[in-house]
Structure formats: C-alpha cells, structure tokens
Amino acid sequence: MASGVSFWERIGFRSGGGVGDAGWGRTLGVAIVSLIYFLPVLFIIFTAFKPQELALSVPPTLSPTSFFGLIPDQFVFSPTLENFGSVFSRVMTAGGAPEATGFDRFFFNSIVIATVSVLLALVLGTLASYGFSRYPLKGNDTYLFIILTTRMLPAIVVVIPIILMFRAVGLAGSYTGIILLYTAFNLAFTIWMMKSFFDELSTDVEDAARIDGSSETKVFLKICLPQVVAGLAATFVFGLILTWNEFLFALLLTGPDTRTVPVAMNQAVASGGRGTDWTLLAAIETLFLIPVFLVTFFLQDHLLRGVTFGTVKK
C-alpha cells in the first residue's frame, strides 16, 4: 500500500505526505468541518440581529435569510440592527428615556488595557526568554518552573492579597494596576513560548557575527529577533485572546472608569431582573469579537507560514 493510489487520492484528495499543496477537494472537506465547528458562533452572531421577542422562540429561528429556499420558513427571522443600538444607549427604567450605557468607554478600556499589557509582556518576556535561552543562569530550570507556577494557582487565591495590596498603594481601579497585573499574567506564557522559539534557532550564525565584531545587542536585534517574528505574532495573539476575555481580575480590580467589556457584559445581561437578555448579550459579544478577530486574521500569515523556525536545525 506504500506507493499505490489510496482511497483518498482516488476521490480527489492529493497526497503529498505532509506539507504540500492539496486541491479543491481538500477545500470542500475542510469547509464542511470548519462550518460545523463555527455554527455555535454563527448562532450567536445571528442572534444579535434577531428581534428581541424571537430570542427564545420554539422552534428556534436560525437564519436571517432562507438561503434560496434551503432553510424552511419557520426557522427564518427578519434581521434588525436595533440590538446594536441598545448596546450603547437603551431604556434602563420602565417608561424612562434611553440612557447612555457607557459601553463606548468600556470598549476603549478593553482595547487600551489588553494592548498595552500584552505588548509590555511581549517586550519583557522576549528579553527574559532570550536571557534564559542564551545565558543560562545557575538553576535556570528552577527559575523557569517558578515562573510557570505563577499560572497554576486559581486566580481567586492570589486575588485577595492583590486587592489588599492595590488598596494600600492606591492602585485599585486604576489603569496602571490592572495593566501591570495583566502583564504579569501574560509573562509566564510569553517566556515559555518565546524560549522554545529561541532554543530552536541555530547559534552558528550568532557566533559568526560575534567573531566579526558585532555587539551582543546587535546580535539580538539584527540576527535573533527577525528569526522569531512568527513566534512573536503567535504569542501576541494568544496573549491578546486570554487578556481580552479575562473576567475575574477585571471584576474585582477595575473601577467604574476602567471597567472592561466582559465585566460590563455580565452586568448588562444580568441586570433588570428579567432573566438573560439574549439579543443584547449577542450584540455585545459580536461587537467585542470584531477587534480580536481582525488582529488574528491579519497576523495569521505570520502565525502559519512564518512558523518555519526549525529550518536551520542544529
């Protein structure tokens, strides 16, 4: 069976071993799997366009169009943009006028806090992982393990000392406090991930540059860093996704001015005592998904094509 035409090849899937090009046959197969995987997300996005009274209808309404008669009429709803408007301003008390909900501020907070803390962790973590990889300290593995340990305890355990600490220092409810906390929160992952990338690099080129008289700074900036761009992109995306959606620290340590969207989302959905406001939740989540979705999409090339870091193997 080693060289013969396999069943898969016969029905149109070209086999190249592992890396290589496959045709449209593969696209079709993967498209079906991907769409099924994406369905729960698609449902949330569609819910954001539903009229509120249809949110819990039986049978469930599934689609804003019938896709040329593919979906029976009973599952189709007529889309509305109303929910997106009520994310930013809506009637809070019965019979009152619409009020601003402050969500523009919460979105701004989420973007600033996540971006600054992930970038800061990336800078500090990359320097540290380069140090751990190239200039091993005495007890290097122990330090690395202690760093990993900081991610092992549930957040609830460290959060009480942090609350006390922040109150004593006046950092509670400030941008600085939550940004520093998230930076630390991301450092463990950044250091472990970036170290595995630096470890994969061949040191031959670096040594050659040193012999030619390059300074240590130059070796790092001009030789090592360009080779791990893909690792930086991957780490940035992972850090962003984790920080973007972090809930517990944000709930306990942000004030009214620095509140992030996940906390505000939880409050907006649970308030009012009428049970979950499904369409509002879906609208907030849909808007909240867009930035992180775009960043991942545009860094994707680096994420994949660039991750050929193992090409110059030791």
Partner 1 sequence: MSLTQSARPTPTLFNVSADNWRLAIVVALVVSIIAGIVLPAAVSFWLIGAMVALVAASFVVNAYRRRYYGGLLVAPAIAVLFVMNIFPLLWSLGLSFFAYQSNQQSIRFVGLNNYIKVLTNEIAAPDNWHALSNTALFVVLTVSAQMIVGFLLAMLFAKQFPLRKYLLILVLTPMMLSVVASGVFFTYYYDPTFGILSYVVNDATDGQFILMSSKAGAVAGIVFADAWMWSPFVMLLVLAGLVSVPKYLYEAAAIDRVSAWRRFWSITFPYIRGLLMLALLFRTIEAFKLADLVILLTKGGNDTMTISYHLIRIANEQNKTSEGAALSYVMLFMVIVLTNLYLYLANRRNKGG
Q: Which of residues 97-136 bind partner 1 (CB under 8 A)?
A: 124-125, 127-128, 130-132, 134-136
Type of residue found at 154? P
* Residues in CB range of 51: below 8 A, 6 or more apart: 77, 78, 80, 82, 279
* Residue 60 C-beta: closest distance to partner 1, Å: 5
> Out of 153, 212, 274, 314, which residue is the one contacting partner 1 (CB under 8 A)?
153
* Rounded Cα distance, 235 and 161, in Å: 28
Q: Which is nearer to partner 1, 104 or 199 (CB)?
A: 199
Q: Applying CB under 8 A, does 266 fall inside the site for partner 1? A: yes
Q: CB of 186 within 8 A of CB of 242?
A: yes
Q: Applying CB under 8 A, does 208 fall inside the site for partner 1? A: no
**Shortest CA distance to 176 belongs to which of 166, 185, 186?**
166
Q: By rule CB under 8 A, what count of residues binds partner 1?
A: 112
> Out of 196, 214, 229, 287, which residue is the one contacting partner 1 (CB under 8 A)?
196
Q: CB of 289 within 8 A of CB of 312?
A: no
Q: Applying CB under 8 A, does 176 fall inside the site for partner 1? A: no
Q: Which of residues 6-65 bind partner 1 (CB under 8 A)?
A: 16-24, 26-27, 29-31, 33-35, 37-38, 40-41, 43-44, 47, 56-60
Q: CB of 54 within 8 A of CB of 61?
A: yes
Window of 87-95, 96-104, 178-186, 221-229 that interacts with partner 1 by CB under 8 A = 178-186
Q: CB of 256 within 8 A of CB of 94?
A: no
* Rounded Cα distance, 307 and 299, in Å: 12
Binding track, positions 272-311, relative to partner 1; x by CB under 8 A: ----x-x--xx-xx--xx--xx--xx--xx-xxx-xxxxx
Structure tokens at 189: 């992952």
Q: Which of residues 154-173 bind partner 1 (CB under 8 A)?
A: 154-158, 160-162, 165, 168-169
